[in-house]
């Protein structure tokens, strides 16, 4: 039995899934909707109605998977849409037993509904063209990408390139990244894809931008080295830097950008969860800049595992799309040490060098991993950097029941020895407090990045 094309389902799912939060969560906190928001609400209700109508047809034709897809699309646009609850109920139990003729008809109806809905989004974008609020602008960009996904055409791809060019000219680099990434996820024509990638490269070579990956919700701050070019047989080093409890992911990325000089590494600062303390109060708002409440709940519930999955997804994407080396340089400050040590002990085969700075090492047992990796996997430099004046040196916030950075680094050093890591050293920096140690981290990695040392060469 034939089913709806997985490519088509993915094309619909990528941008539209984000719509669940773009209006209703914001509207719930608004006291009085603006004129545009009232128009927006009405348009989204109409869009939801189109999906409900198509979903009801699918139920009648026993297209269960397609009916549930329509219900999801309707809910994403307006969870209060008329008839949606009944559609969800019917679609849940609807089997996939349609005739081939009805499946062909579904493709036609889907295309027709897609054009209708895309037209509604076009009207929404026109209505909001003069809106100044940044959150509204982001919603409009999502509508733009959703319309592109539903009704791709040469003219829409042309408009996409024009929007990217105009945004770059206005120095709205966040929008350049947002539009290009969203468009690239929709499998554009080859020539268009090349132009979008070039636009994104140009922006990321001069500054730090926020990016994502198609296979995981994780976001990360990203910058390309000056002189970056895609070239046959050329691979680029990657520096993964993880911030601590303050979760200033952009700040640590910018710090390494300033210190980078001519060193040829791609900067990656993942927006992780295992680095911080309780996500409450102002910290919730900080994470909402990157994630939906649902993603925050998920990431907060399985912190190190979620971070691991996300970081590995980033590295895989960089290797595929940015000619990145298959091993990275990794550093973490304070709570960022949790991801750093995770990479050192769980994925040593993916690490060129590590330099945790004033880093936490949680009570995670990596002792059973020794037999999973070869001596070659573990033969890379690990520089443990701590500060003489660190206020958390012996105890965390002075709490004698909470071991500080030095005892945690003792545990990490002990495990390095037990697992047979041959090339590590420890340095307490005179006068340094609780610090990222930018200069010391760069000094550790520099001879390897410049090719003066190889991965297995000893630290000085």
pLDDT, averaged across the chain: 90
d(CA 113, CA 316) in angstroms, rounded, equals 36
Q: pLDDT-derived band of residue 307, with 50, 70 and 90 as boundaries?
A: very high
Q: What is the mean pLDDT of residues 304-329?
A: 96
Query: Token digits for 328?
Result: 């990275």
Asked whether the beta carbons of 340 and 393 are under 8 A apart, the reply is no
The DSSP code sequence of 30-88 is -SS--HHHHHHHHHHHHHHHHHHHHHHHHHHTTBHHHHHHHHHHHHHH-TT-TTHHHHH
Q: What is the mean pLDDT of residues 179-186?
A: 92
Assess whether pLDDT exceeds 90 at residue 371.
Answer: no
Assess whether pLDDT exceeds 60 at residue 49.
Answer: yes
Amino acid 456: pLDDT:
93
Q: pLDDT tens-digit profile of 86-100? A: 999 999 999 999 999
Torsions phi, psi for 38 (to 5 deg): -65, -45
Percentage of the chain beyond pLDDT 90 is 79
Q: What is the mean pLDDT of residues 235-260?
A: 96
Q: What is the mean pLDDT of residues 416-434?
A: 95
Asked whether the beta carbons of 445 and 357 are under 8 A apart, the reply is no
Assess whether pLDDT exceeds 60 at residue 27.
Answer: no
Q: pLDDT tens-digit profile of 64-78? A: 999 999 999 999 999
Least confident of 127-136, 258-267, 289-298: 127-136
Amino acid 363: pLDDT:
64
Q: Which residues of 38-50 are buried (b: 16+ CB within 10 A; e: fewer)?
A: eebbebbebbbbb
Amino acid 121: pLDDT:
95
Amino acid 346: pLDDT:
95
Q: What is the mean pLDDT of residues 414-420?
A: 93
Least confident of 155-164, 189-198, 225-234, 277-286: 225-234
Q: What is the mean pLDDT of residues 371-395?
A: 93
Amino acid 132: pLDDT:
85
Assess whether pLDDT exceeds 70 at residue 3.
Answer: no
Residue 187 Ramachandran class (φ > 0 left, ψ -120 to 50 alpha, else beta) = left
CB within 8 A of 190, min separation 6: which ones?
none
Query: Token digits for 307?
Result: 């971070």
Q: What is the mean pLDDT of residues 319-339?
A: 96
Asked whether the beta carbons of 196 and 184 are under 8 A apart, the reply is yes
Q: pLDDT tens-digit profile of 338-352? A: 999 999 999 999 999
Amino acid 370: pLDDT:
81
Q: DSSP letter for 369, please.
A: G
Amino acid 35: pLDDT:
86
Assess whether pLDDT exceeds 60 at residue 9.
Answer: no
Assess whether pLDDT exceeds 90 at residue 403.
Answer: no
Amino acid 231: pLDDT:
81
């Amino acid at each position: 039995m034939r089913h709806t094309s997985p490519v088509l389902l993915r094309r619909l799912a990528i941008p539209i899934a984000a719509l669940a939060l773009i209006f209703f969560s914001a509207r719930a906190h608004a006291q009085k909707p603006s004129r545009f928001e009232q128009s927006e609400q009405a348009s989204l209700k109409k869009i939801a109605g189109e999906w409900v109508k198509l979903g009801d047809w699918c139920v009648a034709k026993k297209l269960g998977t397609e009916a549930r897809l329509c219900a999801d699309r309707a809910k994403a646009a307006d969870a209060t849409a008329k008839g949606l609850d009944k559609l969800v109920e019917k679609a849940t139990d609807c089997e996939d037993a349609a005739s081939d003729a009805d499946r062909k008809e579904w493709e036609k109806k889907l295309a027709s509904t897609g054009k209708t809905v895309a037209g509604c989004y076009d009207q929404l974008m026109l209505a909001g063209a003069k809106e100044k609020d940044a959150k509204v602008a982001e919603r409009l960009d999502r509508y733009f990408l959703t319309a592109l996904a539903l009704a791709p055409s040469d003219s829409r791809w042309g408009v996409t390139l024009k929007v990217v060019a105009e945004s770059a000219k206005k120095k709205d680099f966040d929008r350049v990244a947002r539009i290009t990434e969203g468009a690239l996820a929709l499998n554009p024509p080859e020539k268009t894809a090349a132009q979008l990638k070039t636009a994104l490269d140009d922006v990321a070579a001069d500054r730090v931008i926020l990016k994502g990956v198609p296979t995981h919700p994780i976001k990360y701050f990203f910058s390309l080295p000056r002189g970056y070019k895609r070239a046959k047989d050329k691979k680029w080093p990657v520096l993964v830097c993880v911030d601590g409890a303050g979760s200033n992911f952009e700040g640590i990325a910018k710090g390494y950008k300033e210190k980078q000089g001519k060193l040829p590494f791609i900067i990656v600062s993942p927006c992780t969860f295992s680095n911080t303390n309780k996500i409450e109060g102002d910290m919730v708002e900080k994470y909402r800049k990157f994630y939906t409440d649902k993603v925050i709940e998920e990431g907060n519930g399985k912190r190190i595992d979620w971070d691991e999955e996300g970081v590995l997804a980033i590295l895989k994407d960089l290797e595929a799309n940015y000619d990145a080396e298959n091993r990275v340089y990794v550093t973490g400050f304070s709570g960022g040490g949790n991801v750093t040590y995770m990479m050192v002990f769980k994925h040593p085969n993916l690490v060129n060098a590590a330099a945790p700075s004033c880093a936490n090492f949680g009570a995670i047992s990596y002792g059973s991993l020794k037999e999973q990796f070869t001596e070659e996997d573990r033969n890379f430099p690990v520089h443990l950097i701590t500060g003489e004046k660190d206020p958390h040196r012996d105890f965390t916030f002075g709490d004698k029941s909470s071991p500080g950075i030095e005892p945690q680094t003792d545990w990490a050093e002990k495990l390095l020895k037990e697992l047979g890591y041959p090339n590590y050293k420890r340095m307490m920096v005179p006068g340094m407090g609780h610090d990222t140690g930018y200069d010391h981290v760069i000094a550790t990695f520099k001879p390897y990045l410049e090719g003066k040392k190889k991965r297995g060469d000893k630290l000085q």
